[in-house]
Structure 1
Amino acid sequence: MGSETKKIKKNALIVLVGPTAVGKTELSIRLAQHYQTVIVSADSRQFYREMTIGTAKPTPAEMQGVPHYFINSHTITQEYNAGTYEQDVLRLLNQLFLEHTCVILTGGSGLYVRAVLEGMDEMPEVPAAIREKLNLQKQEQGLEALLQQLQQLDPVYYNQVDRANAQRVIRALEVTLATNQPYSTFRKKQAIERPFQILRIGLNRERSELYHRIDRRIDHMLEAGLLPEVKQLEPYKAHNALQTVGYQELFAYLEGKYDWEEAVRLLKRNSRRYAKRQLTWFTKNNDFTWFHPQEWEALLQFIEQRMS
């Protein structure tokens, strides 16, 4: 351990969140090097080995020797959810804190971050066939049809859910259909106190700067071979992991729903909208303190003041 890490006297989880393309990867690696620690990913799409270009997964060179967990940890055919992730991460942290006084958790998947920090409601098992049927229904009829179904079956959750988030809508419907009980009746758990200190840090940029970075990232993904990656995944497009920005638009292009120019336009637009939804999710939690990714000295000072 370097001298800096000695300032953190008890087990601490540094949580670094923010919208897509804001700069979480680069800053989390710099922090991990500074504190001589490791990174646990909370990006629910980077778990999957087959989803690389479209998830902006860091390359081994970009990781700069910093150990990363929950990147390439699963295959696309495995069902994996936030509740299971919570248990897996907590077991991992028990081991990591034997060697490190702090660990960095970073990613943009709000539900997965919340699962680690606060715990998840216990949900029933859902047959994969129900989920796949709903995913196919979304592809054939659109999200609006699923929203109408959710409004009828669970009006309470319908009034709470982010209606642009297809995965949340499908999750609510699959539980409701599998149990014949509204999804909202399962969402009652209070936040759980964790046996380690938690420091919540949010990263953001001016909107125009962020949107420019998003557009540039999409261009780089396309140049790097995003379309061939999507073509290889087409047989699995009904899987839950692929109901996401960056893949849905190109599946639609391959089906002939859009021409290439329109597919790219939608890819960029939907990525910007996704970033906006991420910010809305994290800013609802007032426990996060926000920084521009370039405010390195201020960030270090904040961490050391809170965790010394």
Structure 2
Amino acid sequence: MSGSGKPILISIVGPTAVGKTELAIKIAGWLKTEIVSADSRQFYKEMTIGTAKPSKEELAMVPHHFIDSHSIQELYSAGEYGRDAIKMITNLHETNDVVVAVGGSGLYLKAIWDGFDEMPAIDPSIRIQLNEEFEKKGIDPLLEELKQHDPEYYDQVDQQNGQRVIRALEVIRGTGRSFSSFRANQNVDMPYDHLKIGLNMEREVLFDRINRRMDVMIDEGLFSEAEKLYKYKDHNALQTVGYSEIFAFMDGEYDKEEAVRLLKRNSRRYAKRQLTWFRKYEDIHWFEPGQFTEIKQLITKSLSQ
């Protein structure tokens, strides 16, 4: 328990490929507790290689939640995740003073940190218009509009994901307010306190890890996995780094060598956007992945306060 008497949610955050899963399992094993995933794609049972899910061996070491919990055929929003995850964390806190969350999806982490406001109803014609603009002109003009009217969400959103960009813009056009303003609920009294731990490393080392992990994913069958998911390519969860590049290759937009180059480049860019977003949170305690002793000291101190 924290000094407030509330249980604690320890969140392990950071860019892709930095080592969050390994650290979360170490911490949860040490504290004899359970893990809640806050990765927007690991929910889907059909997406395995491209989402870098924990291995079967890792899943067996510590109980995990929100891994393979949904089908790609289901629509599952950050708001729905927030409600479900807060309920799950609260239930786990009945028998555990501490629960561990892990992930790199800022919107989904925000949902369990700050709560999640209900989005307003928007005239459906606005989405139709935005989809038409997307089809005719591509994503770049929409990104420029989003950057102008909501720079906060622009820095956070997966800029390869057209549907998320469109969702934000339909709220902006329909209400005259930023999309972020509907998610900036700072007044929710959450049923737990937070300890946020960020992982990072020297950029060159991180980028090398990202490149090598992508090579491993490709060797393990990422292209074959994407081919099986091609019919769902318009699904929100699949319009993202790791799949959209392969779908474009399948559509004949470029060859496989170029697809691999883009997979690595876009993964590196995604990592930079993740770090930009997390750095806005001043209460994140940053470490390198090898500093487990120092991380344990921070946790021990926090639990004793």
| TM above 0.5 | yes
TM score, norm. by length of structure 1 = 0.88
Distance 1:21 1:159, change over 3 A: closer
The residue identity in structure 1 corresponding to 2:175 is Q
Alpha-carbon separation, structure 1, partners of 2:125 and 2:149: 25
- Counterparts of 1:1-308 in structure 2, within 5 Å, are 11-124=7-120, 138=134, 141-147=137-143, 150=146, 155-157=148-150, 161-162=154-155, 165-167=159-161, 168-176=164-172, 180-184=174-178, 187=182, 189-308=185-304
Alpha-carbon separation, structure 2, partners of 1:227 and 1:37: 36
Q: Which runs of 5+ in 1 are unaligned?
A: none
- 1:195 deviates by 2.2
Alpha-carbon separation, structure 1, partners of 2:120 and 2:296: 42
Give CA-to-partner distance per residue, 1:39-77, whole Å, 9 cap, x none.
000000101111111001112112243111011111112
Of 76-85 and 283-292, deviating more is 76-85
- 1:21 deviates by 0.3
Of 60-69 and 25-34, deviating more is 60-69
Q: Secondary structure at the match of 1:184?
A: coil
For the 8 Å contact 2:25–2:61, the answer to whether it is kept is no
Q: Which runs of 5+ in 2 are unaligned?
A: none
The residue identity in structure 2 corresponding to 1:294 is G
For the 8 Å contact 2:160–2:241, the answer to whether it is kept is no
Of 155-164 and 103-112, deviating more is 155-164
The residue identity in structure 1 corresponding to 2:62 is V
Equivalent residues, number:
298
- 1:85 deviates by 1.1
- 1:127 deviates by 9.4
- 1:139 deviates by 6.6
Q: Secondary structure at the match of 2:263?
A: helix
For the 8 Å contact 1:131–1:240, the answer to whether it is kept is no
- 1:172 deviates by 0.8
Give CA-to-partner distance per residue, 1:181-227, whole Å, 9 cap, x none.
23517525334231212101100111111111101110010001000
Give CA-to-partner distance per residue, 1:142-181, whole Å, 9 cap, x none.
2113235657xxx53268623762444222124356xx32
For the 8 Å contact 2:114–2:185, the answer to whether it is kept is no
Give CA-to-partner distance per residue, 1:83-115, whole Å, 9 cap, x none.
111111111122101111100001000111111
Percent identity at matched positions?
A: 50
For the 8 Å contact 2:245–2:259, the answer to whether it is kept is yes
Q: RMSD of the alignment, in Å? A: 2.8
Q: Secondary structure at the match of 1:272?
A: helix
Distance 1:201 1:158, change over 3 A: closer
The residue identity in structure 2 corresponding to 1:247 is Y
For the 8 Å contact 2:36–2:89, the answer to whether it is kept is no
Segments of 4+ moved more than 6 angstroms? 126-133
Alpha-carbon separation, structure 2, partners of 1:209 and 1:268: 14
For the 8 Å contact 1:54–1:247, the answer to whether it is kept is yes
Give CA-to-partner distance per residue, 1:248-278, whole Å, 9 cap, x none.
1101111111111111011001000000100
